[in-house]
Amino acid sequence: MAPEFLQAALGFAALLGLIALRCPVGLAMLLVGMGGYVTLVDAATLLNYLKTTPYFLFANYTLSVIPLFILMGALAERGGLARDLFAAANALFGHKPGGMAMGVIGACACFGAVCGSSVATTATFGRAALPELRRFGYDAGLSTGTIAVGGTLGILIPPSVILVVYAISTEQNIAKLFMAALVPGLLATGFYILAIAALARLRPGLMPAAARVLPAARRAALLSVIPVMLIAVVVVGGIYGGVFTPTESAAIGCIATLAVGLARRTLSLRQAGEALLATAETTAMIFVILLGAEVFNAFLALTSAPELLALWIAEQSYPAYGVLALLLFAYIVLGAVMDELAMILLTLPIFFPVVTALDFGLASTEETAIWFGILVLIVVGIGLTAPPIGLNVFVVSSLARDVPIARTYRGVLPFLATDLVRLALCVLFPALSLWLVRLLA
C-alpha cells in the first residue's frame, strides 16, 4: 500500500475509533485532523493554519443561510404552522382509507418548504399528527413509520440544510442544487402516497377512513394554511426565479414566519426566544462539525490520497455507473449508523473527486456535481429511516414510547422500497434532477 493511502487509512481508523467511543463527531474530526497534520508537517505550521482557518471558514457569507433556514423552521414549528398543514390535509383526504397518512406526507412536504431539517419535521409532526392517527385506529407501527419517512421530506424538499453544506463543501451553486432537488423531492412525496394507497387497498384494517369533515370546517382549515403556503412560494419561488439569493430568501422567510405567528397569536415572544436558542444550539453543533471536517480534510489533502484514488480509478476504466453504485451503497450503509451531516463531510473529500473524474455523459463537471449532490441527498434520506440506527425512527420512537422500535422499522419498509426505486430512477435518468436547472439557470 502506498504511504499516502496508509496515512489516510490510519486517520480514518482513528476517527472511527473515537466515534465508537462516543466522542462528538466534530471534535473527533478536529483531533484526528490536527494529529495527522502535526505528523505530516509540524506543530508550528498547524498552529499557523488554525490561526486563520476558523475565521475565514465562519466569516463565509454563504454560511449565514444555515442559521436562517434553521430559525425559519423553528419559528414555523412553534407558530403552529405544522398543525395547520396537517389539519388542512386531513380535511381533504382523511375520509379516505389511508387518507390521514397521505395527509401527513403532504403536510410534511409543504412544511419542508419552510424547514430544512428532517429531525425538526419528524418531531413536529410526531407531536401534531401521531395522536390523531392513533385516535382514529391507525396501526401504531405504520403511524410512526409514516411520520419517520415524512420527516425526510424536510431535507428532500428545498430548502435543505444538507444541500447547503454540500454546496459549501464542494463549491457548488446553492440555488442550482435547490432547483435540482425539487423534482426528486416531489417524486418522493408521490411515491410515499402511492405506497400508502397500495397498503390501504391490500390491508384496509391498518388505515381506516376517518369521518368526513364538514364543508365549513374544511374551508376554515384550508384558509388557515394560506400564510404558510405564501411563505413557501416566496422563499422557494424567489430562489428559483432569481429574485433573491438563498440567504436573502431565508431572511425574508424568517421575518414572514415570525410576523405570521405573532399576528395570529400562535407564537409568543417566549416561544420566539426559544426558537432563537434552539437555532443557536443547532448552528453551533453544525459549525463545530464544519470546522472539524475542514481540519480533517486539510490532513487528507496533505496525504494526496483523494486525488491519487480518483486518478487510479479513472485509469482503471471501471464502468462509471458501477463505481457510482458502490459509492451510493457505501452511503446507505454509513447513513444507517452515522449522523448524516458528519457522514457527508467525512466522505466527500474521498468520493467527490472520484465522481467528478468519471464520465457519465453529462454536459459539464458542474452538472455531474449537482446530480451527485441530489443522489447523496436521496441516500441520506434513506439512511435517516433505515435500520439499525435511522435517526428519524429514534426521534419518533421517543414520542411514542409504547410502540416498539421494531414495529416502526416494519412500518418504514414499504417506503424504503419506494426510496430504492426513486434512487434507481434518478441514477438512470439524470434529467430528473437536471432539467429544471437547465431550464432556469
Cα distances (angstroms) measured from residue 112 to each of 108, 115, 236, 245, 294: 6, 5, 11, 19, 28
Is 80 exceeded by the pLDDT of residue 388? no
CA trace torsion 398, 403, 405, 406 (10° rounding): -170
**pLDDT single digits (tens) 121-166:** 888 888 878 888 888 888 888 889 999 999 888 888 888 888 888 9
Q: What is the pLDDT of residue 428?
A: 92
- Confidence label for 4 from pLDDT (cuts 50, 70 and 90): low
> Which of 89, 234, 87 lies closest to 159, judged by CA?
234
* Section 280-286 average pLDDT: 86
- Quick one: pLDDT at residue 353? 86
Per the prediction, the chain carries an average pLDDT of 84
Which three three-digit cell numbers place residue 92?
381533504
Q: The pTM is what?
A: 0.84
Q: Spell out a b/e string for 305-314, using b for 16 or more CB atoms within 10 Å of the CB, else e.
A: bbbebbeebb
Going by pLDDT thresholds of 50, 70 and 90, the confidence category of residue 419 is: very high
The sign of the dihedral angle between the CA atoms of 380, 382, 387, 393 is: positive
pLDDT, residue 344, reads 83
- Per-residue confidence (pLDDT) for residue 438, from 0 to 100: 86
